[in-house]
Amino acid sequence: MKPFRGPRYQQGWIGIAVAAIGAYASSRSQQNAQKQQNAVKYEDARDLSNLQFEQQKWLDEQSRAWAQQDKQFDLNYKENAIGGFRDAAPANVLTADGSYGTPPAPTHLDTSGLAPTQANGQAAIYDPRTGQPMLGNVPPMNQFAGGQR
């Protein structure tokens, strides 16, 4: 049987147990704080990803609208260039009076609904956190004309 060594050793074991429990509790609180901080980071990353997606979508739509406008300009230019030679064409043999039909209407490609803009001319991209349009408070460019602010 072991001899009794007194209360000094019992306090040592109790202190070690209390220190171990305290370290465990501190570790758990640090883990919870890290978990919460990571959740906030994930939310921020998700919001930034959504914003980047919206911006890229708007840029793609704007690129499509510009391509449509370029195509419309190109087709109308060709139609007008060819139409400029109507007077020099020989008589049409398919009609009794030798006339040609009415010229085609100018090409019009619809770009409505692509890359919407705000009243101030800025892109209509909505901030995922606030739900408000980004750059919504920017004044229109023509407001600064003439050096006045």
Q: Where are the chain's structural domains?
A: 46-85
DSSP-derived 3-state class of residue 126: strand
Predicted confidence (pLDDT) at residue 145 exceeds the cutoff of 60: no
pLDDT band at 149 (very low <50, low <70, confident <90, very high): very low
pLDDT tens digits for 68-114?
999 999 999 999 998 888 888 888 888 889 888 888 889 999 988 88
Q: Model-level pTM greater than 0.75? A: no
pLDDT tens digits for 33-74?
888 877 666 677 888 888 889 899 999 999 999 999 999 999
Burial (CB < 10 A; 0-12, 13-18, 19+), residue 125, is buried
